[in-house]
Structure 1
Amino acid sequence: MKTGTVHNSDSFLKNISSRLGRDTIEPAVTLPEWSYSPQHRVLENATQEELIAVLEKQCQIIHTDFVRVKPENTLEETLNYVIESYGGGPIITWDDPRFEQSGLSSLFERDDTSIWDPSIGDNNIPLAEKANIGITFSDITLAESGTVVLFSGAKKGRAVSLLPTVYIALIPAESIVPRMTQATSIIHNKIQDGDALSSCINFITGPSNSADIEMKLVVGVHGPIKVTYIVY
């Protein structure tokens, strides 16, 4: 990608500053220090179990099925059960090492599973459109609103969570934070640390829905009709 060169920017900005009656240009914006930050107080001292309980309760409100992997079951067994409860494939998912790390390699051995492949470009889209189920991991999960946060990328297409009839989010318990406050802090810190984050970060709260027409809630307007969160 070619980058342009900005000429005479200092003199240009000084001219504008002078016309506005400002003699100097501040080098940077100084963040204010608030005496009270209520956004940090919500669920501030909640334990992980309490956050999971908050998430489960919120799922009832956002029309999302909540499944927690039981001690006697594996994540693979639980995922297969949910997949079959939705009628099976076709399935589309990310090319994500977390599947193998979590014992889900068998998902890629199914004849009805497609993996998002950056080498075929837009040809991934029809696969997502025809899929019955899309499966991804949640990078950050907001307990208060029941929101999963997805960092898209070359091997992690946005369409996987958008176009299939059903969406399944795999949620590591350690990814659950109280609310948006903590999620944005995590993202900010990643950027400050120089992590290469996608330009698109998706915040998904259950199935798509709208109540714009006569105040009647319609679920599945422009995305998955059914959503399940699996916490493990």
Structure 2
Amino acid sequence: MTIMNREAFLEHVTANLHRPRRTNGVERPQWSIRPQDEVLKGLSKDELVDVLEEHCKVIHTNFKRTDRDGLAAILKETIEGYKAKAIVASSDSRNEDYGLHDFYQKLKDDGNEVHLWDETNGKENQAFAERADVGITFSDITLAESGTVTLFNNKYNGRSISLMPRTYIAIIPKSTIVPRMTQATKQIHEANQAGDGVASCISFVTGPSNSADIEMNLIVGVHGPVDVTYIMVED
């Protein structure tokens, strides 16, 4: 709801209540019971990784572990397993930190098509993503409970990267793993309140695209990637 629409809506409500709008003196309630804070509470980061790995079995997602030194090899293995020749990836600043610039160049040298998201290319980014065999992004916040990766979509990391290719790989720095949506939304809210420039589009991706009809027959890959791999990296 836009600010303009919100104001019009509130004015309409107060007019029908036949009283002036309350613009101060209203305090946000403090809930006496907050079960959402208790789920997976007190688990160590290693234990959260185990929870994430276990839930990946439920959401039909491959899960692999490595460290920074082994990331390139695991990525190569996964890409080859997908028989991918066209790769689209985000222009994330972490590419440099994790040695992926050299990795992507090596893929090109080996005859693969590699496209790093570039806002100056406009619709060309989406056109490539549509025919890509695999999309690769980093996870910004990772939810152990549901096996969800959170993607801050911006000019370096288009939504199409995780949506349009046939398969998708999420690189998950271990430090990004939190228990559940409760902690993710709190982080996003706090960043927004601090003026840290939170992305205007935030995607929550939980494994491959799943669809089911009224008879509960599961169909994978209708609205997005048919296969997904999470690579958890010790950082």
TM-score (norm 1): 0.89
Residue identity opposite 1:169 in structure 2: A
Cα distance in structure 1, aligned partners of 2:232 and 2:33: 33
Residue in 1 that maps onto 2:71: 75
Match of 2:42 in 1: 45
Percent identity (aligned): 48
Q: Which runs of 5+ in 1 are unaligned?
A: 1-5
The 10-residue stretch of structure 1 (142-151 or 209-218) with the greater mean CA deviation from structure 2: 209-218
Q: When the two structures are aligned, how many residues end up with a matched partner?
A: 223
- 2:222 maps to 221
Q: CA deviation at 1:88?
A: 3.0
Q: Which moved more, 1:152-161 or 1:101-110?
A: 101-110
Whose radius of gyration is greater, 1 or 2? Answer: 1
CA distance in 2 between partners of 1:19 and 1:97 (Å): 52
Q: Which residue of 1 aligns with 2:94?
A: 98
Unaligned runs of 5+ in 2: none
- The CA deviation at 1:106 is 2.0
Report the Cα distance in structure 1 between the residues aligned to 2:15 and 2:220, rounded to whole angstroms. 54
Shift of 1:132: 0.4
Structure 2 distance, partners of 1:156, 1:28, is 41
Q: Which structure carries more strand by proportion?
A: 2
In 2: Cα distance, 1:181 partner to 1:24 partner: 31
TM-score (norm 2): 0.88
Q: 1:56-205, aligned counterparts within 5 Å?
A: 56-69=53-66, 74-109=70-105, 110-111=107-108, 112-205=113-206
Which ranges of 4 or more aligned residues in structure 1 deviate by more than 6 Å?
Answer: none
1:74 is paired with a residue whose SS is helix
Deviations 1:69-99 (A, max 9, x none): 169x611111111111111321000111101
Q: Amino acid of the residue matched to residue 199 of structure 2?
A: S
Q: Which residue of 2 aligns with 1:31?
A: 28
> CA 1:58/1:16 → structure 2, altered by over 3 Å: closer, same or farther?
closer
Q: Is the 8 A contact 1:107 1:113 kept in 2?
A: no
Deviation of 1:102 (Å)? 0.9
Give, in whole Å, the separation in 1 of the partners of 2:165 and 2:19. Answer: 55
Residue 49 of structure 1 and its aligned partner are, at CA, apart by 0.7
